[in-house]
Every structure is written in structure tokens, then in C-alpha cells.
Structure 1
């Protein structure tokens, strides 16, 4: 079985595009597990990723296509958590939804997407939106 770590934020439009990038791949849905993973950045005690509209939308779309979907979450450093969790679950692919930013914006605000791509030894599927 293949495992895709689908790193998801709160943007529903990006989640829809990210789902589309996975459903268009030539995958055997019954042999592919998708783990939706959200990293809360602050101390969001009691927060539940399944309560996010982006997550519930992605679950519905992926299950409609025949994928097995699980949801996981953590709090803290997004890059470190994504890389560690990908290792923990033996993910074959890390799916990310990046935003187009100027080089200055990346320097000022950082880029989780960029850091995961540079630090991961796994295949990274990147879907970018404006």
C-alpha cells in the first residue's frame, strides 16, 4: 500500500486544487492511503483538524474518488512535524499546497513548502496557487 501525506492548511480553494492533483494521478485508489495532516501553529488546545472546512471538504472529495482517508494533526513547527510524521507513517509522497510568493516574501515570512522540499528525502508533490 502506498501512503500519501497530504499536508493541508485552512484554505478550501487550495485544498480542492490539492485533491485534484492527487485524483489525476494514475493511482490504484484501493491501494493508496491518504493521511490528511494539519499542523496548528499556536497553542490551539482542543483544536480538531476535522473541524476545518478544508479538511472536511478534502475528506469528502477523496473518499468520493475511492481513497482511504485518515486525519492526523499536531502543534508546533510545521516543517519539523511534517518531516517527522512522514517518517513515522512511512509516507511515499508528501503532498503540499504552496502559495506563490516573491523572493522577498519568502525571506520575510519563510516558506514551509520550500523547507520541506529542501529537507525531505521523499517525493514531494507540489500544487501552487496564487
Structure 2
């Protein structure tokens, strides 16, 4: 699969996010670091909403071992990126956009929609006749 974008970390300008160690780690991982504009809460609102969604899902169960919690978080991240359709992405998954599949999926959906409308019109015309 072809990756269209490098992974990136979205953060605020807190001291832990401007540390040199983090910059070195991100560089080693081939990631970009995007910082939200100061006093621009909408940018941070996106990641805060993501954390809230994850927290609400993860807190549905009790975890008795650290590995159990880690597996649940991993399952959530996988679901969020690969299975959950996002309205802001035209109802495709982030993975579809990331790997360049979104346009193909949207074109295929449009074809299916047109065929469905044609079939319904024919059925309606037959029933009316």
C-alpha cells in the first residue's frame, strides 16, 4: 500500500511537547509534529474529542492487568482508524484517506447509488402501470 501522508503528532505547546527528546523520537519514527495555534481551542478540541470517545469506550469495563487495558486501547485505535466511518471525511475511514482509497470508494458508492435509483424508478413505473 502507498502511504500518502507521514504520521503526525498533534499537540499543544506544553513543555512536554517541545522537549528535544520528543523531537528526536518523532524524527526516528519518521513522524511530523504539528502544534496547535496558541489560544485556538478548536484545534485542540479535535484531539480532546478523540480522547473523550476513547475514554468513554475504555471505561465500560474493568481491567485487572495492564495488558488488558493496553489491548482495549489498541482495539479502539484500530476500530477508530480502520472501521469507523467519519462524517468529516465523507463517511470513509481515516485509513481509507491515509492510504489513498477514499476517492475510489466514493466513486463506487456514487455508481451504486445511481444504479439503485434507476432500479427503484423502474419498479415504481411497473407498479404504476
TM-score (norm 2): 0.28
Q: Between Structure 1 and Structure 2, which shows a larger proportion of helix residues?
A: 2
Q: Between Structure 1 and Structure 2, which shows a larger proportion of strand residues?
A: 1
TM-score (norm 1): 0.28
> Larger RCO: Structure 1 or Structure 2 (Cα < 8 Å, ≥ 6 residues apart)?
1
Bigger Rg, structure 1 or 2: 2
